[in-house]
């Protein structure tokens, strides 16, 4: 491609709306443009990268035995009603109505649709196992679209669905996908970790998330260096050992004016936070729910919502009025003793074993000392409602957990029969008996993966593409476009490499050399050939985007240098 003809609207300034590096660089390198919040156009350079990522995903999916097809983005309401997700999915779902008032959604995912397809076509165990995938555009009206392609409202996903006869076979399908994902993310050159994920919203039994490690990631994970335990913070089990088997003391009412937070109480009582119990009050469809956890810990809302069997969008924090109504006190003084009848009280199991806690008094400006579960209050006990934190004990081997951040680029789910039951998709087993399909679903964020690669491969000048996902492999910069020798040599190398199957950009623009150098750093083409004054001697400068080193080489030597980079990256070159 000749850059004089290319549509590549680069920007000098960092766009103010872009908070993270990948978003900034995608905009600055002229790879994407925003239409409205969370909706992007993929411009020529950006789209080339997307297609390369898609191709790597496609090759490994095909290798795993999965078959590609393409389904519509438009899905009828009835499919989603069959599994209850028309309502459960909540405001993230884009809904629309046709001219006859029939309701549809723009697919946020395709479990129902694939299950329905199979229901009508696959009748016998002899047709199983089956694994189908597509690379398709998804729509989610995200609450906080941000970070460019990382969390958008329209994005490209690879989604795959497996259908099997039983749990054992479903597990095998899951392992095959795990291996395929492992190969895919390695080929994408991502530094990643596989962690246990939460299955709540999908309703499955087991899931793992593939996290590309990056401080820009929205995902928090914990892992153990001694054993292989790794999980998202939503999923991670918390080992909490503040257990005190001492004697129960007499309840005592204490005047605590203005002390509405654990920090205030810590100071006032001069006691560690672990001596207090926190109350968090929610409003679930006008029903108050009070959750009690140890004062030195945070609540893990995912664990709470899973226990309640509800989605995040179905619940909110209680307002002052509701709090006053159930406790008779202002916010900050709610506790488990003496709540209004009918208030649902949910207690983290550790509270049961903690003696003589300080709790809210359910009276403004008062707390109660020496509260004990069983003697003074009771509630629904939930094994673990706590949010993990750095240094917690590993639930598997008791060593310390390490916390880190990552970008969820893919995930795999064992779904069991939730969707086949809902849709009524059955096959006949060996005994001629009807059985529901055992399913799995497997997603990869294609556009998010592009952003993840940039997060891991950039410097202060721009993107540093790995060779196999770069929009072009080589850039030939002609320093002086008015110099015939330079232009001719540039053209010659351009033709020679292009014929060898190398994707080459020829910077033949009427621009200053400085502009050309800045642009090539910004768009991050991995291999660079600079044609300057020594063109008359057939000598050019060769360098890599990822290194400071520059070498002079004869025109005839360029191909061999390029070839060795291709071989290192396991790419074909003629």
Of 19 and 121, nearer to ligand ATP (C-beta) is: 19
Q: What is the DSSP string of 21-38?
A: HHHHHHHHTTSEEEEETT
Q: Burial-class residue 356 by CB neighbours within 10 Å (0-12, 13-18, 19+).
A: middle
Phi-psi label, residue 462: left if phi above 0, alpha if psi -120 to 50, beta otherwise = left
The single residue among 1, 157, 463, 504 that binds ligand ATP, judged by CB under 6 A, is 157
Q: CB-wise, 256 or 306, nearer to ligand ATP? A: 306
Using the minimum distance from each CB to ligand ATP, give the nearer residue, 204 or 526: 204
Of 59, 88, 142, 541, the residue at the interface with ligand ATP (CB under 6 A) is: 142
- What is the C-alpha end-to-end distance of the chain, expressed in Å? 19
Pull the structure tokens for residue 531: 């044609």
Closest separation in Å from C-beta 566 to ligand ATP: 29
Residue with structure tokens 């895919």?
184
**115 contacts ligand ATP (rule: CB under 6 A):** no
As a whole number of angstroms, the distance between CA 24 and CA 150 comes to 12
Round to whole Å and give the CA distance between 453 and 25: 12
Stretch touching ligand ATP by CB under 6 A, among 177-185, 359-367, 409-417, 538-546 = 409-417
Regarding 275 and contact with ligand ATP (CB under 6 A), the answer is: no
Q: Identify which of residues 38 and 332 has a Cβ nearer to ligand ATP in the complex.
A: 38
Min dist CB 486 to ligand ATP, Å, is 43
Q: Applying CB under 6 A, which part among 74-82, 360-368, 441-449, 563-571 lies near ligand ATP?
A: 441-449
Least distance in angstroms from the C-beta of 81 to ligand ATP = 20
x/- contact string, 490-529, with ligand ATP (CB under 6 A)?
----------------------------------------
Binding residues for ligand ATP restricted to 444-463, rule: CB under 6 A: 445, 447-448
Q: Where are the alpha helices (DSSP H) in 433-569?
A: 446-456, 484-499, 513-523, 558-568
Closest approach of Cβ 117 to ligand ATP, in Å? 19
Question: Interface with ligand ATP includes 232 (CB under 6 A)?
Answer: no
The only residue of 28, 52, 110, 151 in contact with ligand ATP, by rule CB under 6 A: 151
Comparison of 448 and 516: residue with beta carbon closer to ligand ATP = 448
Q: Which token pair is 259?
A: 């002390």
Collapse the DSSP code of 409 into the 3-class scheme (helix H, G, I; strand E, B; otherwise coil) and give the result: strand
Verify binding: residue 420, ligand ATP, rule CB under 6 A.
no
Residue with tokens 């054993």: 227
Q: Which long-range contacts (CB under 8 A, 24 or more apart) does 170-176 make?
A: 170/414, 170/416, 170/438, 170/439, 170/440, 171/414, 172/129, 173/129, 173/131, 173/440, 174/206, 174/412, 174/414, 174/440, 176/64, 176/65, 176/131
How far CA 164 is from CA of 65, 210, 214, in Å, comes to: 14, 23, 36
300 binds ligand ATP (CB under 6 A): no
Q: How many residues does the chain have?
A: 574
Q: Give the residue nearest to ligand ATP (CB).
A: 445
Question: Is residue 354 part of the contact set for ligand ATP (CB under 6 A)?
Answer: no
State the minimum distance, in angstroms, from the CB of residue 333 to ligand ATP.
Answer: 35
- Sites for ligand ATP among residues 212-231 (CB under 6 A): none
**Sites of contact with ligand ATP (CB under 6 A):** 109, 140, 142, 151-152, 155, 157, 408-411, 443, 445, 447-448
């Amino acid at each position: 491609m000749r850059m004089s003809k290319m549509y590549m609207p680069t920007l000098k300034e960092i766009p103010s709306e872009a908070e993270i590096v990948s978003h900034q660089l995608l905009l600055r390198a002229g790879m994407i443009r925003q239409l409205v919040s969370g909706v992007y156009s993929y411009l020529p350079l950006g789209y080339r990268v997307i297609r390369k990522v898609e191709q790597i995903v496609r090759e490994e999916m095909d290798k795993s035995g999965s078959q590609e097809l393409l389904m519509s983005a438009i899905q009828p309401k009835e499919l989603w009603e069959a599994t209850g997700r028309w309502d459960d999915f909540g405001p993230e779902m884009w809904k629309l109505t046709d001219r006859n008032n029939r309701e549809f959604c723009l697919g946020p995912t395709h479990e129902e649709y694939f299950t329905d397809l199979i229901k009508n076509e696959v009748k016998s165990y002899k047709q199983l196992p089956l694994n189908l995938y597509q690379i398709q555009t998804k729509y989610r009206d995200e609450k906080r679209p941000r970070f460019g392609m990382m969390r958008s409202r329209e994005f490209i996903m690879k989604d795959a669905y497996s259908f099997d006869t039983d749990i054992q076979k479903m597990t095998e399908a899951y392992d095959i996908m795990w291996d395929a994902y492992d190969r895919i993310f390695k080929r994408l050159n991502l530094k990643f970790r596989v962690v246990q994920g939460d299955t709540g919203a999908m309703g499955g039994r087991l899931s793992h998330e593939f996290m590309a490690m990056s401080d820009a990631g929205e995902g928090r994970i914990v892992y153990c260096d001694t054993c292989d335990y790794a999980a998202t913070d939503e999923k991670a089990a918390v080992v909490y050992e503040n257990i005190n088997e001492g004697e129960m003391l007499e309840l005592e009412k204490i005047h605590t004016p203005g002390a509405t937070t654990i920090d205030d109480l810590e100071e006032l009582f001069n006691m560690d936070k672990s001596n207090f119990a926190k109350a968090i009050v929610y409003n679930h469809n006008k029903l108050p729910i009070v959750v009690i956890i140890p004062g030195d810990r945070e609540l893990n809302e995912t664990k709470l919502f899973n226990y309640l069997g509800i989605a995040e969008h179905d619940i909110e924090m209680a307002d002052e009025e509701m709090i006053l109504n159930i406790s008779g006190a202002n916010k900050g003084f709610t506790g488990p003793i003496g709540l209004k009848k009918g208030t649902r009280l949910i207690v983290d199991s550790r509270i049961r074993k903690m003696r003589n806690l300080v709790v809210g008094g359910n009276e403004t400006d008062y707390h109660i000392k020496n509260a004990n579960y069983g003697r003074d209050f009771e509630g629904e006990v939930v094994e673990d409602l706590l949010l993990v934190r750095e240094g917690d004990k590993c639930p598997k081997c008791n060593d310390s957990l390490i916390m880190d951040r990552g970008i969820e680029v893919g995930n795999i789910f064992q779904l069991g029969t939730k969707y086949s039951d809902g849709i009524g998709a059955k096959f006949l087993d060996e005994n001629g008996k009807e059985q529901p399909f055992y399913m799995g679903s497997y997603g990869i964020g294609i556009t998010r993966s592009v952003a993840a690669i940039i997060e891991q491969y950039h410097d202060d000048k721009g993107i540093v593409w790995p060779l196999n996902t770069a929009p072009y492999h080589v850039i030939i910069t002609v320093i002086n476009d008015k110099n015939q020798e330079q232009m001719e040599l540039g053209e010659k190398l351009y033709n020679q490499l292009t014929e060898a199957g190398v994707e080459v950009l020829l910077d033949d623009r009427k621009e200053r050399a400085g502009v050309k150098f800045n642009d090539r750093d910004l768009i991050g083409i991995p291999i660079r050939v600079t044609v300057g004054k020594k063109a008359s001697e057939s000598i050019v400068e060769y360098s890599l985007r990822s290194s400071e080193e520059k070498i002079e080489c004869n025109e005839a030597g360029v191909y061999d240098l390029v070839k060795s980079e291709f071989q290192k990256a396991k790419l074909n070159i003629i």
